Amino acid sequence: MRLSRKVTIVTGAGQGIGAATALKFAREGALIAACDVNPEAVSAVVEACRQAGAEAHGFTVDVTDRHAVDAMVARVQAQWGRIDVLVNNAGITRDARLQKMTTKQFDDVIDVNLRGVFHVAQAVVDGMVAQGSGVILNASSVVGIYGNFGQTNYAAAKFGVIGFTKTWSRELGPKGIRVNAVAPGFIETPILSTVPAEVLAKMREQVPLRRLGQPEEIANVYAFLASDEASYINGAVIEVSGGMTV
């Protein structure tokens, strides 16, 4: 197993890509700290990871709450003595065109998708530096590379996550810590549940593979980047979009 005994924190683990990532890492032998704002979803993911044979614990955490993040990291450290991998996956959308977007819509997305990434990374980094190793994986998006209609807030946050990734890879690489980002395209997750069928059809048409991605296809990339097989990949932004931007 590629991630045997790797202590891994996954934020936004309650559904979609986060849940698939926690389960993929569990199957690869990792020790899982599954974090989400939804306690019932956390419990379900933890049970799935345990059914897969992994040691797993759940934490109800809002990544915008720095005190809650610090408390979670302290508990993971106390439980397993170290943190090897952070998958900074938690994210939300609050879409609107620039002329219609409210300040609250803007702030909510920046707080979760950008400030939350900062909070959790900063909370784990001292321990990784002390042990001389670690992997931080950040969730960006193709929207964070190319922009998207109606997503001023989301694009700004995901562009910012790429900036974090590039900067931290320079700062932390000499200390034995690799930092990379994954930029998914259109992935079939609950976040798309309110999108009309005709819009989903148009989304599929934009992808050369003529389908939406599956959460497991993103989880597979996270697992590779967390493993020693990716030991010379640092500061990269890996687009996983079925070729939609070709």
Cα→Cα distances 215→16, 198, 219, Å = 6, 21, 6
**Nearest C-alpha neighbor of 215 from the set 1, 13, 9, 5:** 13
* 146 is known as an active-site residue: no
Q: Who contacts 83 (Cβ-Cβ below 8 Å, separation ≥6)?
A: 7, 8, 9, 73, 76, 77, 124, 127, 128, 134
Q: Where are the beta strands (DSSP E) in 110-235?
A: 134-139, 177-184
| Catalytic entry in 146, 154, 222, 232 | 154
Count the Cβ atoms, other than its own, within 10 Å of residue 23: 24
Q: Which residues are catalytic?
A: 154
